[in-house]
Structure 1
Amino acid sequence: MAAIAASTFYGKKKNGYECYSSTRCLFNSTELQDIEFIRSYYYNKIEHVRFSSDVGRFVGYTEFGVKNAEMWNNNPGQLAAMRAQKETYCQHNIDLWYANVLSKSVKPSVRLHSTMAPGCHHPAMLVCSVYDFYPKQIKVSWLRNGQETTSDITSTEKFANGDWLYQVHSHLEYMPRSGEKISCMVEHASLDEPLIINWVPPMPETERLIIVGAIGLILGLILFVAGVIYRRKSGDTSLAHRFGEKQAEDWNKDPAALSLWRPQKEMFFKPDSELCFTNVLPKSVMPLARLHSMTPPGGRHPALALCRVYDFFPNQSKTRTDAGSQ
């Protein structure tokens, strides 16, 4: 059964609310016969009078409430207004809830993990944690070798996230048995079929070390094979060199090939040489010079004079140092 609730406060004092009312709609569907409208009135946090659409009148629970109920039940207009709330208030809001909230669903995410059991009575405890699902109704069960089990389940707790979503955690104490298959099964309105998560025990430390060693061995073999391939490719260089020598020997025996290559000196290199002599070699770039002192290594002389000349062309240059005597 779902519910819609609203509260109205009339005033409050230091130690509690002086007077307030609460309105609720309890329903299983949008049909009027499945809806109950309830209006409760409180004084200092104590409900003293209530109207229920299933009863059709006010009922008092305290001396003050009984007097108020008697007075209100003698008012046909007030009774008619309260009886109409089931249709005008509840059914209207319930239609909105079914259209925008209750007809929606959010699939859960499931995590199956182990933890230590309280008091260490068992080697371990499995926890099936189901997160972020809607609506609230959900079934979490445990399977041993495909058969549902109800023993050793210590607790199943539901929590509201505060954002319309819920979470639930189910705990199963277990004693590991060889070949046993343990699963967590989740059934929810958002799922077309039950979601089953199988428990996979963590790998023992010895097996983990064996796998790490095997991976290291495989990587070593890969590096060894890569080195062999590299060496073979490097050996191919000498083979190519011998092939080049053989081909040069064959071409030198061919007069036609020699006659084709010998004129290249004049046809190809001479024009480029003339361009170089015209545009490059006659040009020159004035050098930049810097003279400074530096302390020689070992301290055998007071100082050294260093003359540095930068950025000049052509490379023919002459540097002369004139030193005066004291």
Structure 2
Amino acid sequence: MASSLLCWLLIIITINAAVPDGFMEFYVDRCVFTSPDLKDIQYIRSLIYNKKEYARFDSNVGRFVGYTEYGLKQAAYRNSNPSFIAGMKAQKDAYCKHNIDIDYQVALTKSVAPTVRLYSTTPPAGHHPSMLVCRVYDFYPKTIKVQWLRDGQEVTSDVTTTDEMEDGDWYYQVHSQLEYTPRSGERISCRVEHSSLKEPLITDWDPSIPDSERNKLAIGASGLILGLILSLAGFIYYKRKARGRILVPTS
């Protein structure tokens, strides 16, 4: 994750807001970074009027740059004040570095290992008769690599993989599908690489019992066990009632 470019919108401050349908001026501070090292941090302040950026300070440039006629005048005015420019340059350390260090401590260096489920499915009529699905979910951070292996060799054809999808709880999930024709004795696996794993996680598909049949067997076994329990309870109840009876002889 450290190699990926992260852009963090730190704060939005409204300077002047009028009534609805009026005018609005505000500025946005951003910290763009690839690591917590100061040299890898870029501080940007954008000056915006009615949704249009008219000037910007960029720590990589070291001064304000104007984008409109008004912005050019504002940039020149601010650049003419050395103490003000020095204060803006200091924000890279005082503002960005401080907050980025906190984020790396509490979130950005954390990781959660993915859970992998491998199962088969039958597409609708007219499509390929068999398909394997590798569902990888509940992992963090977002970046992940999912591959299919056949007898240890990567499979690149007939593979469809979704983008990483947000779960809405900081976790992500991804689904990869492989169209296949079963072959006797072959081994098909789903291989997952993630920053939370010390080595790739390889899950083999077990074709011995299809998922649909496995579910039917589980339901049938549960019903059989429940029937035995109810029969045993009825037998015990009958025996207890029989012991409490009093036999009256008839002449």
Q: TM-score, normalised by structure 1?
A: 0.57
Correspondence for 1:175 among 162, 173, 181 = 181
Match of 1:165 among 151, 154, 171: 171
Q: Judging changes above 3 Å, is the alpha-carbon distance between structure 1 residues 88 and 172 closer, same or farther for their aligned structure 2 residues?
A: same
Give, in whole Å, the separation in 2 of the partners of 1:62 and 1:118.
57
Compared CA separation, residues 8 and 182, structure 1 to 2 (3 A): farther
Aligned partners of 2:36 and 2:100 also within 8 Å = yes
Q: Which residue of 2 aligns with 1:66?
A: 72
User: Helix, strand or coil: the match of 1:157?
Assistant: coil
2:86 equivalent to 1:80: yes
Aligned residues: 211
CA contact (8 A) 2:161 2:174 kept: no
Q: State whether structure 2 residue 90 is matched by structure 1 residue 90.
A: no
CA distance in 2, matches of 1:72, 1:87: 20
Counterpart CA distance in 2 for 1:17 and 1:121 is 57
The C-alpha deviation readout for 1:232-269, integer Å capped at 9, x for no partner, is xxxxxxxxxxxxxxxxxxxxxxxxxxxxxxxxxxxxxx
Residue deviations 1:61-106, cap 9 Å, x none?
2333333222222222221111101111111112112222122211
- Determine if the alignment matches structure 1 residue 18 to structure 2 residue 20: no
Alpha-carbon distance between aligned partners in 1 of 2:105 and 2:46, rounded to the nearest angstrom? 28
| Offset of residue 21 of structure 1 | 2.2
Summarize the Cα distance change of 1:23–1:204 in structure 2 as closer, same or farther, 3 Å threshold: closer
| 1:126-165 alignment, distance < 5 Å | 126-165=132-171
| Residue 106 (structure 1) aligns with | 112
How big is the shift at 1:2? 2.4
Specify which of 8, 13, 16 is matched with residue 13 of structure 2: 8
* Contiguous gaps of at least 5 residues in structure 2: 222-251
1:90-149, CA deviations, whole angstroms, 9 ceiling, x for partnerless residues?
111121122221222111111223345588432233332221212222211111211122
Q: Check the 8 A contact 1:154/1:172 in 2, yes or no.
A: yes
CA drift of 1:200 comes to 2.5
Specify the SS of the correspondent of 2:117. Answer: strand
Question: Of the two, which has the highest radius of gyration?
Answer: 1
| Structure 1, unpaired ranges of 5+ | 216-326
The equivalent of 2:57 in structure 1 is 51
Name which of 190, 200, 219 aligns with 1:184.
Answer: 190
Alignment partner of 1:27 is 2:33: yes
- Aligned-partner Cα distance in 2 for 1:74–1:5: 28
1:202 Cα shift?
6.6
Cα deviation for residue 37 of structure 1 reads 0.9
In structure 1, distance between residues paired with 2:22 and 2:185 = 61
Residue in 1 that maps onto 2:241: none
Of Structure 1 and Structure 2, the greater helix share is in: 1
Higher RCO (C-alpha 8 Å, min separation 6): 2
Residues 173-226 of structure 1: CA distance to partner in whole angstroms, max 9, x if unpaired? 333333332211111111121111122337369x98xx99xx9xxxxxxxxxxx
Q: For 2:82 and 2:206, locate their aligned partners in 1 and report how far apart those are by CA, in whole Å.
A: 69
- Paired residue type of 2:28: S
Moved more, 49-58 or 173-182: 173-182
Question: Which amino acid in the other structure matches residue 102 of structure 2?
Answer: L
Would you say the 8 A contact 1:21–1:41 is kept in 2? yes
Distance in 1 of aligned mates of 2:45 and 2:193: 36
* Root mean square deviation of aligned Cα: 3.1
Structure 1 residue 8: Cα displacement: 2.1
Query: In structure 1, the residue corresponding to 2:163 is in which secondary structure?
Result: strand
